[in-house]
Structure 1
Amino acid sequence: MTLHFFSKKIIFIAVFMSLAACLQVFADHFIYWRPALLQEFWRLWTAHWVHVGWVHYLLNILAFACLPFIFPRVKTWHFFSLLLLLPPAISFSFYVLFPHIEAYAGLSGVLHGAYMAVAVVHLLDAQERRFAALVLLLILAKLLWENTFGSKETAELIGSPVLVEAHLLGVIWGAGLAIVYLIYTYSLKK
């Protein structure tokens, strides 16, 4: 790993952190707000880049900043692609599957999807297989815990209910994007 390799990832993380912090200042204009979603299309993305408060922001940004270093062989453009593809997929899923959800803000659904996507792809890498399987197991255990016992402590910490549907949708979309990516890369090798 070269210094250039890490500097690209650090710059990517810093740019995203800065963007999310700037949006946070005017969060009401960027959250998922169902009545305005189809007229203000940017909310499809920005809802996942803003948070219900600064503690929520810091927790999600910390988890986001760890991902490129937990899986260091993943290219920066993969993370960038996930930040562009997962938010509208999750937002449209809210809109269609969960019409009772009026408002949402947070990166956690995208984080679950990104961790899932990267781990699924790394299952095919002999050097990373065990670690990727562990990450997948932890994600699934977390989903099971949240849907069985809830996330009361996290909700108290961030000052808002945790929308576990976002985590589940993120995992589903992340796995789907990983499978599409693997099929595409496999077809290029033929």
Structure 2
Amino acid sequence: MLSTTLKSYKVYLLLFMLSTVLYFLPASYQQLLEYQAVAIRSGEFWRLFSGHLLHSNLLHLLLNLLGLMVLMLLHGKLEGRMAVGWQLILLSLSTSLALYWLAPDVEIYVGLSGILHGLLCYGATADIRQGFNSGGLILLGVAVKVGSEQWYGPDPELSAQIAAEVAIDAHLYGAISGILLALLSWRQIKHQ
């Protein structure tokens, strides 16, 4: 159990460090990594992954890193789930592809928030499988938050603070991807 927990924490910490280091890259390098729909159409498929690691400003980075730490503490030590590294890869890809196909108006996207919503929903769904009642409450909370964002639109105050429009579609597609990923791996998630 300790070995699996350490591996999970290492993946979270690697993501934490990578996002932090990339934040300090010159803007010209960051533009080569951000999710840009037009560049993806031209075959720059790495952007489906790398865009999640970039942030619009320091507050955006800090908010996402705080969310990542909360998820690490909430779900990082639980046994019998898909490895966090695989979760990150699959959630990055599925969230980006959903943005690409279902939200063509999103031309540029940066940030971990879509993946964070996916990790939270994967963990909550796995919690349900493992008999933890908190999973249902977490999913309900995410559904209310994401539904409110879809109904009322992005929070203008938060958009101003992070110097970018809040990517509510990434939150929606990340959450759906996390639930679907957990359901697809339902049998592999150990029932406690």
TM-score normalized with structure 1 length: 0.86
Tell me how many residue pairs correspond in the alignment.
184
Q: Secondary structure at the match of 2:53?
A: coil
Q: Which position in structure 1 is the counterpart of 2:65?
A: 61
Q: Secondary structure at the match of 2:129?
A: coil
Residues 21-60 of structure 1: CA distance to partner in whole angstroms, max 9, x if unpaired? 2222232111111111142211010111111122111111
Distance in 2 between the 1:120 and 1:109 partners?
Answer: 17
What is the CA-CA distance between 1:13 and the residue it aligns to?
A: 2.6
Residues 111-155 of structure 1: CA distance to partner in whole angstroms, max 9, x if unpaired? 1111101111110222x2x21111111111111221233322221
Pair 1:19 & 2:18 matched: yes
Task: Tell me, yes or no, if the aligned pair for 2:16 and 2:68 is still in contact at 8 Å.
Answer: no
Pair 1:41 & 2:37 matched: no
Distance in 2 between the 1:76 and 1:15 partners?
Answer: 19
Distance in 2 between the 1:50 and 1:8 partners?
Answer: 23
Gaps of 5+ in 1: none
Q: Which moved more, 1:90-99 or 1:8-17?
A: 8-17
What is the CA-CA distance between 1:89 and the residue it aligns to?
A: 1.1
Percentage of pairs with the same residue: 29
Pair 1:28 & 2:31 matched: yes
Q: Which has the higher contact order (CA 8 A, sep 6+)?
A: 2
Q: Which position in structure 2 is the counterpart of 1:102?
A: 107
What is the CA-CA distance between 1:160 and the residue it aligns to?
A: 1.1
Distance in 1 between the 2:120 and 2:164 partners?
Answer: 23
Q: Secondary structure at the match of 1:57?
A: helix
Q: Which amino acid aligns with 1:44?
A: L
Gaps of 5+ in 2: none
Pairing partner for 2:137 from 134, 139, 153: 134
Pair 1:85 & 2:90 matched: yes
Distance in 1 between the 2:44 and 2:4 partners?
Answer: 37
Call closer, same or farther: CA 1:64–1:152 in 2, change over 3 Å. same
Pairing partner for 1:114 from 110, 119, 125: 119
Distance in 2 between the 1:174 and 1:58 partners?
Answer: 22
What is the CA-CA distance between 1:5 and the residue it aligns to?
A: 6.3
Residues 55-111 of structure 1: CA distance to partner in whole angstroms, max 9, x if unpaired? 111111110121121123147962211111111111111221122221111111111
